[in-house]
Amino acid sequence: MANRPFDVLNNAIGKEALIILKGDISIRGTLKAFDVHMNILMENAEQLVNGEMKTKFGKLMIRGDNILFISP
């Protein structure tokens, strides 16, 4: 059972996650790693606009202070 935020992220490694960034930017991809600053490394990442894929990034590093929320 996940009791802490890092537990939730640890359990989501290797799984698909949705990340919403400042500026109403949505990114979907496979969560590969994170650090204590909530910097996120994703693979197969793509930007979504209105739920539809707009841009494929492949590997993507997201700076933690840009993240509004993560849905694992």
Q: Quick check: 4 pLDDT over 80?
A: yes
Question: Percentage of residues in the chain with pLDDT exceeding 90?
Answer: 82
**Rounded average pLDDT over 10-17:** 95
5-71: CATH class: mainly beta
Nearest to 32 by CA among 21, 19, 23: 19
pLDDT score, position 26: 97
Q: Can you name the residues that pair with 10 across neighbouring β-strands?
A: none
Please say whether the beta carbons of 23 and 1 come within 8 A: no
Q: What is the mean pLDDT of residues 7-31?
A: 95
Rg (CA), the chain: 12
Tokens of 52: 């539809």
CA 15 to chain centre: 10
Structure confidence by residue, pLDDT tens digits, 41-63:
999 999 999 888 999 999 999 99
